[in-house]
Amino acid sequence: MEDLSSLSPALNAADETSPAPPSPGLSPADAVPASSPERSFSPKEKAYAWLLLAAGYLFWRVFPMSQKPLGAVVYLLSLYALTFLIVLRGRSRLGIVQKLVFLSAVLAALAALLWDNGFLSFFCFLYLEAAFVYLVYAAAGNTLEDGLSTFVGADLVRAWFVYPFTSFGRLFPALSLGRGKSVWKTVLKVLLGLFLAVLPTYLALSLLSYDSGFSSILEKLFSFDSEKLIENLLRLVFGIPVAMYLFGLYVSSFTAKPRVRMTVEDYRARTEHRRILPFTTAAAAVLPLLAVYGVFFCSQWAYYTSAFSGALPQGLSYADYARDGFFQLCAVAGMNFIIMLCLLRYVNRKKPVLLRVLCVVLSLFTLILLGTAASKLWLYIARYGLTPDRVYAAWFMCLLALLLILMVIGQFFPVFKTLPISMAVTVALFLLFSLSGPDRWIAAYNVDRYLAGKTDEIDVDMLSRLGDDAIPALLRLERFMRGENGGIRPDVEGYDWYNFEDGSYERLLVILEDRGREDAPFFSHTLSGFVAERSLRRAGFVPGFEAKEDTITLQIQLDLQEDIGLFLREAEAPGFHVAGGQSNADRSPIRRDELLYDSFSRWEFSDPAGPKELTLRFSVVTEYVDPNYENLYPAALTVAMDPVTIRADFGDTVRIVVHGGRGSGYWAELAA
């Protein structure tokens, strides 16, 4: 592996006032710029500085970005567009590698916008920010080497930690209409004075508020939310360092007066100087470890490899076997990976063949450990299904195995650029994983196993924690459970789902109804969130929403001789059965001339295509009785009607009139 570090320009010993001329053959890309205190800024640069000040404030408006994905994507893509399409237009020099980095940043933004996974979104936004800094640095031709450079690690350190802080204070001269250090000092003095005024001003306002007249004046002058004001002031204050960082990066990257820094040859020499560990010492340190692994494999081979055949050791359950040693195996594999990095970085190359053999043997043992842990994990997944933690563990083990293989390849082929290729593979695997929407297919996999009868239980609580990505799978599960429940969807309004004793269906209903009631801010949405909301509306889990194109609506006009207690209805069709009723929540009678409404959603049917032929059975409970899920009421108070058959398509409204009374009986007919 190549050296990842670089020297800060603050350590440079060159004269500040008279920079040394570039060495022969040294390109501007091999130098770190020094911002001149006399540098003047163009009107475009001054406008850019003010816009970055606003960007610093907006950074904290969308922070934490994983909770406001749509807002964060809009913010970051606007920052990219402002910098590269306006400020750096015609001045940037981006090679093929930088263009691929830009493409990967767009894919990271797409992944964060598509799926409701806060954990992966955090890393997507972190990558977007890191890529922006690197691209600004590279746009000025500051990279140590063109193309796929083995010194990409040094470039990243320079871009993230060196260049921005070299010109960290240059924002304020660019914000001012004047020049020089006096402006910077004036700004500092004003900020210090405002800071010192906060406490006495607050105390004065608090003490003088005893006067009602003064308090009323304050209320008229400051009729706003004080908490919001303080929150926005803090965002503005903490946004200043963000703007200073970004503008410092720009100034350092595009300064007109470069100073000579370490050349590529200097970096190579520095890397070689760090290889101070003799091979004999390294071998003496690693060989005992390999001997331990050899004894371990020989003694426990049958136990740990039984997962490959799917057979369990006697006396162990799937859970016990899968968990037994899994985390220890992963920890040992991770430790071996670190040892490999140290061998490649610090051991001298006087015995390259022996070093390669040592690395290959250590890598082989590590791959065996990873394979064993992966087999145990696979056995656990096959038995109990997927969870995010299991999927993340599997992804990380695959990545670790690939990186080990790449490091071994790099030892046999010197031209193989191990570091940049390893970084590219890591980014590619992460983007593929994020774009695939893991929460969505985790939920789909578990629901499919349950619907196929491969498991008798399903953890709806875990699925609910997957957020909006799991909603399509949860709705499929709800339709299946409703069918198993006789086509009836119980009313769980007002219940705490933890109080249900009869299982997962009621908990699932409460989860879906709670999600349907959520009114998240617009910029907190993702595409899967919009899809989930639309699906929940169609399924009837969003209060107050009625999509006519997906609903058969009943208008039931009562034309009775007296008021009634409850009105019951039951509807049947092939693959469809629902039962329910209507009553007044205050226990008052239903008026004899009241107009009642009912509806059937497309998604309640096993076959959502229309039109539908429905058999409707109505009943009247003559006196009020507390409703129940079973629709069972005293026979002496319940009067059933002859069934009515209707044929309707989704979007239709069917009008029915109910006549009669207690003495003559009740009957229903289609309205003319």
DSSP code string of 323-388: HTTHHHHHHHHHHHHHHHHHHHHHB-SSSHHHHHHHHHHHHHHHHHHHHHHHHHHHHHHHHH---H
**How many angstroms separate the Cα of 305 from the Cα of each of 97, 322, 372?**
42, 12, 6
Share of residues in the chain with pLDDT > 70 (%): 78
**How many angstroms separate the Cα of 297 from the Cα of each of 303, 374, 379, 488?**
10, 16, 20, 56
pLDDT for residue 325:
63
CATH number of 548-670: 2.60.40
pLDDT for residue 537:
82
Distance CA 116, CA 10 (A): 43
Task: Determine which of 50-59, 406-415, 637-646 has the lowest per-residue pLDDT on average.
Answer: 406-415
Task: Determine which of 70-74, 474-478, 497-501 has the lowest per-residue pLDDT on average.
Answer: 497-501
pLDDT above 80 (res 512): yes
Per-residue pLDDT, averaged over 644-666, amounts to: 91
pLDDT for residue 350:
74
Which residues share a beta bridge with 551? 601
Distance CA 93, CA 147 (A): 12
pLDDT for residue 48:
95
Work out whether strand 551-560 and strand 653-661 pair parallel, antiparallel, or are unpaired: parallel
Identify whether the C-beta of residue 365 lies closer than 8 Å to the C-beta of residue 404.
no
Q: Name the range with the highest mean pLDDT among 145-149, 179-183, 315-319, 351-355.
A: 145-149
**How many angstroms separate the Cα of 472 from the Cα of each of 441, 445, 477, 512, 535?**
10, 12, 9, 11, 7
pLDDT above 80 (res 502): no
Task: Determine which of 136-145, 173-182, 329-338, 466-475 has the lowest per-residue pLDDT on average.
Answer: 173-182
DSSP code string of 122-160: HHHHHHHHHHHHHHHHHHTT--SSSSS-TTHHHHHHIII
Which one is predicted more confidently, 165 or 537? 165
Domain ranges of the chain: 1-261, 279-414, 440-538, 548-670
Average pLDDT of the chain is 81
Which one is predicted more confidently, 104 or 220? 104
Which residues share a beta bridge with 577? 572
pLDDT tens digits for range 13-27 = 333 333 333 433 333
pTM above 0.85, yes or no: no
pLDDT tens digits for range 396-439 = 989 989 998 998 898 888 788 988 999 999 999 999 999 999 99
Identify whether the C-beta of residue 286 lies closer than 8 Å to the C-beta of residue 362.
yes
pLDDT above 50 (res 306): yes
Share of residues in the chain with pLDDT > 90 (%): 34
Which residues share a beta bridge with 31? 260
**How many angstroms separate the Cα of 265 from the Cα of each of 12, 151, 352, 398, 421?**
17, 11, 22, 35, 21
Helix or strand or coil: residue 599? strand
pLDDT tens digits for range 152-163 = 988 999 999 999
Distance CA 442, CA 450 (A): 13
Distance CA 261, CA 290 (A): 43
Distance CA 570, CA 578 (A): 6
Q: Tokens for 213?
A: 């007249």
Helix or strand or coil: residue 637? coil
Which one is predicted more confidently, 448 or 376? 448
pLDDT above 50 (res 3): no
Which one is predicted more confidently, 610 or 58? 58
Per-residue pLDDT, averaged over 456-479, amounts to: 91
Of 444, 420, 441, 443, residue with least CA distance to 432? 441
pLDDT for residue 344:
80
Residues contacting 233, CB < 8 A, separation 6+: none
pLDDT above 50 (res 184): yes
pLDDT for residue 370:
86
pLDDT for residue 268:
72
From the CB of residue 61, how many other CB atoms can be counted at a distance below 10 Å? 15
Q: Name the range with the highest mean pLDDT among 201-215, 254-268, 343-357.
A: 343-357
Which one is predicted more confidently, 549 or 406? 406
Per-residue pLDDT, averaged over 222-232, amounts to: 66
Residues contacting 429, CB < 8 A, separation 6+: 395, 398, 399, 402
pLDDT for residue 368:
85
Q: Is the peptide bond before 278 cis (omega within 30 degrees of 0)?
A: no
Distance CA 544, CA 43 (A): 53
pLDDT above 50 (res 627): yes
Which one is predicted more confidently, 293 or 614? 614
Per-residue pLDDT, averaged over 268-285, amounts to: 79
311: confidence class by pLDDT, cuts 50, 70, 90:
low
Please report, as a single letter, which amino acid is at residue 404: L
